[in-house]
Amino acid sequence: MHWLSVHSFWPVIVLLGVVGTISSTIFLVMVLVAARRFKRIAQQQVADAQAEYPPVTVLKPVHGFEPQLEANLESFFLQDYREYEIVFGCRTADDPALAVVEKLRQRYAAVNVRIVLSGEPRRPNAKVYSLDRMIASSTNDYFIISDSDIRVRPDFLHRVIAPLLDKKNGLVTCLYQGVPTGDFWSDMEALGMSVELPSGVMVAEMMEGMKFALGAVMAVRRDALERIGGIGTTADYYSDDFVLGSRVAEVGHTVVLANPGVGHVLTSQTFRQTFRTQLRWMQSTRYSRPKGHLGTGLTYSTPFGLLALAGCAATGALPLGIALCAWSYMNRVVQCLAVGWGVIRDRHALAYCWIYPLRDLLGFFVWAASYLGGRYFHWRGELYRFTPGGRIEPASRKLQAAGRGA
């Protein structure tokens, strides 16, 4: 007789559903405590109008044209900051993104703008390869590293540079809000950015302090970069942001978590494109933080509520199953309201809190798929593969041997 009979199968499903419901409830409590703590700390991170703010270099790697690129880049030209420059990094002079940069440079002639052409990357992570050359071109000691799909408010520079005026702080990393484009799948991805991601980050910060960074926006001082051997030391990783924050913390600097009102502007994608993007992030976490990634499975709520419902229905305890499923649903609604609206101030999360449990379910499926998929993934039109420790190797281009150790 098979070790798991039909009679014992459904009770096991019920038990799994109950265990998952309990673990996700514990996680929710931790999120609520962490969110309250973070809001209190964030209120103290106020820019000092009397402070002497240093010259800043904004580093913007660009690669190809994307929707809303002009509006995203323009938000950095509109900063209410005394002295800053924007350095755009690109592989070639004929990249279509540079036409947008030139248009903005003519519109805002008072902003100092430079373009650094890196050529074909000689390291696995093309963005970091470009950033290394962009930093070398600047004489400033304070840097903002920001992706091309990020949009910020006019007071952004003041708010992220302020913590770096304290020399014990070496890097500032930022929570951000997902900005959808109006289609269903971008709505789902935006909810994940505004709720799921900051929930995990705030809990991690509460439990052990910030030992990593989020790559959408980072502020860092030159001395912190020099102590870790330069940003080029992260060029072999997909999660270069995680590695950068980790190494800055390892050399004794504090990594500060801030919430300066950053928007991560999404593009309209199909389900397949959205799934591949989410899977790439999940696979990166799996390879760079394997133990933490495994434990993430117990933080989801909706799938366990559905398991409990199915198991209880099959064993004649339907009212209990409905109660557990309803609790798992409300668990995620509360999380969405507390984090997406209470911390991130995302009106989209406030309006769509009722659908966030579906995003939670999709997140669980992506997490599970991260253990089933292979090591290969597409990124910025190129094929890569993950290697142990979170390092990546380009599969669609060859690295020039001369630059491998650069």
Please write the tens of the pLDDT for every residue from 148-185.
Answer: 999 999 999 999 999 999 999 999 999 999 999 888 99
Rounded average pLDDT over 356-374? 91
pLDDT of residue 291: 84
Rounded average pLDDT over 348-357? 96
Tell me the pLDDT tens digit for each residue of 229-242.
Answer: 999 999 998 889 99
Whether residue 225 contacts residue 135, with contact meaning beta carbons closer than 8 Å, is answered with: yes
Look at strands 254-265 and 169-179 and give their pairing.
parallel
Ordered alpha helix ranges (H), 43-179: 69-77, 97-107, 126-136, 156-161
With tokens 């593009």, the residue in question is 267
For the domain made up of 45-269, give the CATH fold. Spore Coat Polysaccharide Biosynthesis Protein SpsA; Chain A (3.90.550)
pLDDT of residue 231: 96
Parse the chain into domains and list their residue ranges: 6-39+289-386, 45-269
CA distance 240 to 231: 9
The whole-chain average pLDDT of the chain stands at 90
Q: The whole model's pTM is what?
A: 0.90
